[in-house]
Structure 1
């Protein structure tokens, strides 16, 4: 059994439980209801400690971390960069086309998100390849066709390995604190989906292998869409 199979088989839906737990604490121990009701937390550090902020004018002060600049090519050969997510909500995940167990499940679950928001130009799905030296544009195109990925806003991305790995670990905190300080040559493995708001701040983390958490992700996207 491979690393991902072992990890997924033994884990609880930690991301969803973590958010729920901290929301419970915030309500019980003194946060004003306006800071928690109908609002998603912010994640500013790789340990994913949630931060609840009641007013928009405090966000820049309290949450300096945002997704860094990037430029990669998608399955159609188009260059996708940070300009393509400006002012939009996006979901990021990390996969590789030759993965036989976990990635197909994650792709199937991300298709649920695609289906929930058909042709929504304000929502972008970014699937970064963690084996970009194998996953060429042509290979990603074949993968998208095999998985019936039709949305123009779902980009399977390839590029320089060091740049993808740095973005994953330092911008998305893809492996939480366990992977934050890893060398860029160490293989990146995570089943997490990351939800990022219009200002490129992380607002949610989900186990992409669990459909229950994908339903929570869909609900949280709808919450962000209503956020001013």
Structure 2
């Protein structure tokens, strides 16, 4: 009788540990986002990813604060985080830049990681102005790019590729001002893996952890 009781306890313990392991694995897996409403898709099979996740960041070409052309080819094979700011913003942008700096510090020496901060007032944010902004915020690493260029192209990329305004998606056009607190995490295959409120420290901590999770998956 005693042996039966111990056997049952053993079975329950093994089942519990198995369940916890599966739960932990599920928690470590980041979802894919395929549509502007940010419906999460948890997929582990690479073939299923290729078949089901059709959305990727589109081609682009903009100028950074070092007066260098940055294109989609430059970040090919790299994890990157994108956000949308303007240097004259006195509301959420300073907070976002301060929080993005935490991400920058965590990965500033990582050549397989990049930060792309697109200006939403590119007609104001010239290269010299972005360079000054970078100096004011101690942005010295080569993997953080403050980008300027054609307004229509930036807004189009933001809304159609990054789904920058979440549920708004690409329902607006370039005549509507783009202003969002979102940070968008993109994997090395240029697929969206996370969206975060760039004004909240807890979300920045989660973002950093999620980047580490992505990097582990690529080792």
Normalised TM-score (structure 1): 0.84
Measure how far apart 1:99 and its partner are: 0.2
Contact 1:34–1:54 (CA<8 Å) still a contact in 2?
no
- Answering whether residue 105 of structure 2 is matched by residue 105 of structure 1, we say no
- Answering whether residue 184 of structure 2 is matched by residue 194 of structure 1, we say yes
Aligned mate of 2:164, from 160, 174, 190: 174
Q: Which residue of 1 aligns with 2:63?
A: 73
Deviates more, 1:36-45 or 1:215-224: 36-45
Bigger radius of gyration among the two:
2
Measure how far apart 1:35 and its partner are: 7.5
**How far does the alpha carbon of each residue in 1:170-209 deviate from its partner, in whole angstroms, 9 at most, with x for none?**
0000001224210211100100000000000000000000
Q: Which residue of 1 aligns with 2:136?
A: 146
Contact 1:90–1:124 (CA<8 Å) still a contact in 2?
yes
Contact 2:186–2:192 (CA<8 Å) still a contact in 1?
yes
Contact 1:76–1:137 (CA<8 Å) still a contact in 2?
yes
Structure 1 segments unaligned to the other structure (5+ residues): 1-31
Q: Which residue of 1 aligns with 2:48?
A: 58
- Answering whether residue 126 of structure 2 is matched by residue 136 of structure 1, we say yes
Number of corresponding residues: 198
- Answering whether residue 196 of structure 2 is matched by residue 220 of structure 1, we say no
Measure how far apart 1:54 and its partner are: 1.8
SS in 1 for 2:105: helix
Mapped to 2, the partners of 1:124 and 1:131 lie a distance apart of 21
- CA RMSD of the aligned region, Å? 1.5
Normalised TM-score (structure 2): 0.87
Deviates more, 1:205-214 or 1:36-45: 36-45
**How far does the alpha carbon of each residue in 1:109-166 deviate from its partner, in whole angstroms, 9 at most, with x for none?**
0000011113111110000000000000010000000111111100000000000000
Structure 1 residues 131 and 156: CA distance shift in structure 2, 3 A:
same
Q: Which residue of 2 aligns with 1:204?
A: 194
Mapped to 2, the partners of 1:214 and 1:183 lie a distance apart of 29
**How far does the alpha carbon of each residue in 1:59-103 deviate from its partner, in whole angstroms, 9 at most, with x for none?**
110100000000000000000000111000000000000001210
Contact 1:36–1:54 (CA<8 Å) still a contact in 2?
no
Q: Which residue of 2 aligns with 1:122?
A: 112
List structure 1 runs of 4+ shifted beyond 3 angstroms: 32-35
